C-alpha cells in the first residue's frame, strides 16, 4: 500500500529529535550554544522570527545550509510555522551528515502566540531587494547587512583617482551616505584615471560632478559635499558624522592631519596611495589595536623623494584597482566581516602583476597613538612636511 503524506511525516518524526519552544527559549536565555534555522519562506521570515535565527527557506536548504552552517557537529535547531517543514528539513540535514539536529514542535505561530521574544528584519523596499539581490544571497550580508550599509556613512577624501572608483562601488553597494571632500575642479588631464568625471564636466567642481554620477548610479545614496580643503580648523567638523574615512589624498600635510584627527576621534582610515605603476593600501585603526600613519612614517620624506603624480605620472588603470580595494575594506569594516588590513600593508606592482604584504607594527613611542603622546593638538602641517 503506498505511503501517504501523513504516514511519511509520522515516520520522519520518529527519527528526528523534537524540541519544545519552552526549551528553545530557555537555551536562548541561558546563551547555550545552538544554531537556530528558520526554514519558512522569506515572506514569512520578514513578518518576524526568533532572535538570532538564520533564514534558510526549505526550498533552498540543500544548496545553502553548508555555507551558512559549516560545522556539522553543531547543535542545529530548525523551526517553521507549525513543525512539519522543520521535521522534513531535519531529516535532510541528518542525511547531509549533521549529527545534532532538532526540530521545533510546535513552530513560530505558537511562539508568537505565547508572547515570546521575536525580531523583525530591516524592511527593504521591493526596489531595494531587486537592486541588492546579489548581496542578499550572501550570508555575510543578507537583509540585515544591507540595511546596515544603507544606514552607514563613508567620507571620501578626494574625488580624484582613488576617490572615483571607491565612490562608484560604495554607491553601487548601497552605502547610504557618501561624503566628498575636494576643492578642485574637473580638468581634462584628470579624465585618464578619474572615472567619476566626464568631458562634458570639465571646469565643474569635482564634488558636483561626483554627486551627479553617484545619484545617477544609485538614487538611494545621499551625497554630502565639502568643496573645501581639509584643514586643522574644519577636520573635526567634516569627520564628525562619518563611520569610516577613505583616504585618497595625495600630499603629506593632509595625510598627517587625517591621521591625527582620526586617532583622536577614533575613526578607522582606509589609506591608499599610488605612484607610477605601484600602489598600496592599509587600514589605520589604533582604536582596534593597530598602528597609525605616524607609526609607519614618523616624519615625511624629503620632497624630492616623494614627487606627486603630477610630477612623476601614473598609469591610468592603477587607481581603479587601489580605490576598489579601499572600497572593499570600508564595506568589510561596516559589516564587521573578514580581516581588515589593520597592521598589514598590501602592495601592488602592476608591471610585474604582483601583490605583496608587509606587517606594520604599532610604535610604542608614537607621539600620537602611543601610551604617552607628545602631540595632542593640531600643528602646522604644511611647515612640518617642509622640514626636509
Q: What pLDDT is stored for residue 307 in this prediction? A: 58
139 in a domain, yes or no? no
- CATH number, residue 292: 3.40.50.720
Residue 370, Cα to own-chain centre: how many angstroms?
Answer: 28
136 in a domain, yes or no? no
Asked if residues 290 and 239 have their Cβ atoms less than 8 Å apart, the reply is no
Residue 319, Cα to own-chain centre: how many angstroms?
Answer: 20
pLDDT at 310 exceeding the cut of 70: no
259 in a domain, yes or no? yes
141 in a domain, yes or no? no
Whole-model pTM: value is 0.81
Backbone angles phi, psi at 356, to 5 degrees: -135, 170
The mean of the pLDDT values for the chain is 92
Q: How confident is the model at residue 2 (pLDDT cuts 50, 70, 90)?
A: low
Here the cell at position 165 is 572608483
Quote the domain boundaries for residue 103.
5-121
* Per-residue pLDDT reduced to its tens digit, 44-56: 998 999 999 999 9
Looking at the structure of the chain, the number of domains it has is 2
132 in a domain, yes or no? no
- CATH number, residue 101: 3.40.250.10
Looking at the structure, tell me whether residues 322 and 264 fall in a common domain: yes
Angle in degrees, CA 182, 183, 189, rounded to 5: 85
* Per-residue pLDDT reduced to its tens digit, 252-300: 889 999 999 999 999 999 999 999 999 999 999 999 999 999 999 887 7
Measured between alpha carbons, how far is 58 from 151 in angstroms, rounded to an integer? 30
117 in a domain, yes or no? yes
Which of 121, 139, 172 marks a domain boundary?
A: 121
Measured between alpha carbons, how far is 3 from 238 in angstroms, rounded to an integer? 69
135 in a domain, yes or no? no
Which H/E stretch holds residue 42? Answer: helix 42-46
Q: What pLDDT is stored for residue 388 in this prediction? A: 41
Looking at the structure, tell me whether residues 380 and 261 fall in a common domain: yes
Kindly calculate the radius of gyration of the chain based on its CA atoms and give it in whole angstroms. 26
- CB within 8 A of 321, min separation 6: which ones? 165, 279, 348, 350
Amino acid at each position: 500500500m503506498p505511503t501517504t503524506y501523513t504516514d511519511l511525516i509520522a515516520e520522519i518524526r520518529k527519527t528526528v529529535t523534537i524540541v519544545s519552544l519552552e526549551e528553545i527559549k530557555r537555551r536562548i536565555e541561558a546563551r547555550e550554544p545552538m544554531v537556530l534555522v528558520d526554514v519558512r519562506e522569506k515572506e514569512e521570515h520578514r513578518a518576524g522570527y526568533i532572535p538570532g535565527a538564520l533564514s534558510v527557506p526549505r526550498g533552498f536548504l540543500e544548496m545553502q545550509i553548508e555555507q551558512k552552517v559549516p560545522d556539522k557537529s553543531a547543535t542545529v535547531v530548525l523551526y517553521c510555522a507549525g513543525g512539519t517543514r522543520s521535521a522534513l528539513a531535519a531529516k535532510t540535514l541528518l542525511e547531509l551528515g549533521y549529527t545534532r539536529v532538532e526540530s521545533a514542535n510546535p513552530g513560530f505561530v505558537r511562539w508568537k502566540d505565547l508572547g515570546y521574544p521575536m525580531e523583525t528584519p530591516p524592511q527593504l523596499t521591493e526596489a531595494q531587494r531587486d537592486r541588492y539581490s546579489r548581496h542578499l544571497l550572501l550570508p555575510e550580508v543578507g537583509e540585515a547587512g544591507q540595511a546596515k550599509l544603507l544606514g552607514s556613512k563613508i567620507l571620501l577624501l578626494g574625488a580624484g583617482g582613488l576617490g572615483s572608483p571607491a565612490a562608484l562601488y560604495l554607491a553601487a553597494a548601497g552605502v547610504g551616505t557618501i561624503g566628498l571632500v575636494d576643492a578642485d575642479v574637473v580638468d581634462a588631464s584628470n579624465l585618464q584615471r578619474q572615472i567619476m568625471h566626464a568631458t562634458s564636466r570639465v571646469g565643474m567642481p569635482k564634488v558636483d560632478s561626483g554627486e551627479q554620477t553617484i545619484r545617477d548610479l544609485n538614487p538611494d545614496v545621499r551625497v554630502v559635499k565639502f568643496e573645501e580643503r581639509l584643514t586643522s580648523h574644519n577636520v573635526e567638523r567634516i569627520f564628525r558624522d562619518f563611520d569610516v574615512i577613505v583616504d585618497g589624498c595625495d600630499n603629506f600635510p593632509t595625510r598627517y592631519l587625517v591621521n591625527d584627527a582620526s586617532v583622536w576621534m577614533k575613526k578607522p582610515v582606509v589609506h591608499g596611495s599610488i605612484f607610477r605603476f605601484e600602489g598600496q593600501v592599509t587600514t589605520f585603526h589604533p582604536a582596534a589595536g593597530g598602528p597609525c600613519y605616524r607609526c609607519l612614517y614618523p616624519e615625511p620624506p624629503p620632497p624630492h623623494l616623494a614627487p606627486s603624480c603630477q610630477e612623476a605620472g601614473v598609469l591610468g588603470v592603477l587607481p581603479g584597482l587601489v580605490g576598489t580595494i579601499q572600497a572593499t575594506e570600508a564595506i568589510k569594516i561596516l559589516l564587521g566581516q573578514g580581516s581588515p588590513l589593520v597592521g598589514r600593508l598590501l602592495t601592488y606592482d602592476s608591471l610585474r602583476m604582483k601583490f605583496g604584504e608587509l606587517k606594520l607594527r604599532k610604535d610604542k613611542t608614537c607621539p600620537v597613538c602611543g601610551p604617552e603622546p607628545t602631540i595632542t593638538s593640531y600643528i602646522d602641517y604644511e611647515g612640518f612636511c617642509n622640514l626636509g
